[in-house]
Amino acid sequence: MIITVIFDILFFLVFAIVLLHFLVLDGSLVWGLFGVGVIFTAFTLWKSSTASKKDTTAVNWEPGFTNWFIVAKAATSAAGVATMNIFRINGMYSANTHFVVVGFLNLNILEAAVRDIELGYFENAAAAFVLMVTIPYTLSAEDIYILNEKTSEYHCFVFPLTILWVFLYTSWNGCFTYDDNLSWLTRLILLPPIMVALLNSDIELWMGARVLLLLLHLLLRAIQIIWIYKPGGSALTPIAGSICNSVTACRIWGRVNFLLMCIYAGYLFIGMEPFSS
């Protein structure tokens, strides 16, 4: 059993990192992912509208994973992938386009925060709102120039976030997927974007990698062509109802996230130069 779990984890991490690396570096692959993703998002939404509560299809086997959340996550992920690839191809980054990306990032966080509030995990929801406050809303002309230079040099989408913010986001999102009783795989997909960014020695690649893997994750959940994504097919995707979180652990994790986010906010706004990456 332990060997199987280790194999499943290693397979997914290697598969995700390798594929994500090419997606981050190749705009044509991203458009392919976007096109296929739109088709299977429609399929996923159709399945979610017809599935019974006991159904174990990709869209309904995680307890508490409500249809509105699936719709919102699929729509914002697809729109985010299209937007960032347009920015990358055109090599444009300005104060106006920055707010478009900030808007998508806020939506991504807000969707989960609302779900946490529905479930009564207010501490982690509060951490989400502090995360939103600490996104870099204002960029200097020099910052925008550097972002445009990086886009032209890498041919990748870059977004100015600090390493600390990314790790705090990862902890917050991990807590959310745990308190919502989602599969283990929903926590594991948080790691490859960080690894890809670190392998390329630039945390500003994380945002693009995160959005790409999120859409890819939704796509693979819909079509289930890999055993990793079949409910009951791996240790990472158990059948609905076979796993259950600890409410106490959720609340402690959420409180720690909120405390760390408040310290980070103080570090940004009081102690140091804000939003340096």
pLDDT for residue 33: 63
The per-residue pLDDT for range 51-86, each reduced to its tens digit, is: 544 444 333 444 434 456 667 777 788 788 778 777
Q: Which residue has the higher pLDDT, 51 or 37?
A: 37
**Integer CA distances (angstroms), 42 to 35, 78, 180, 199, in order:** 11, 11, 24, 34
Contact of 144 with 205, CB cutoff 8 Å: no
* Mean local confidence (pLDDT), 184-201: 90
Q: What residue has token string 């890809």?
A: 196
Cα atoms in the Cβ-side hemisphere of radius 13 Å centred on 110: 11
What is the reported pLDDT for 242?
67
Q: Kindly state the average pLDDT of the residues 122-139.
A: 94
Confidence of residue 41 (pLDDT cuts 50, 70, 90): low
First and final C-alpha spacing in the chain: 42
Percent over 90 (pLDDT), the chain: 27
Rounded distance, CA 195 to CA 209, Å? 10
Residue with tokens 């859409």: 215
pLDDT band at 117 (very low <50, low <70, confident <90, very high): very high
How many Å apart are CA 113 and CA 125, to the nearest integer? 5
- CA 248 to centroid of chain Cα atoms: 25
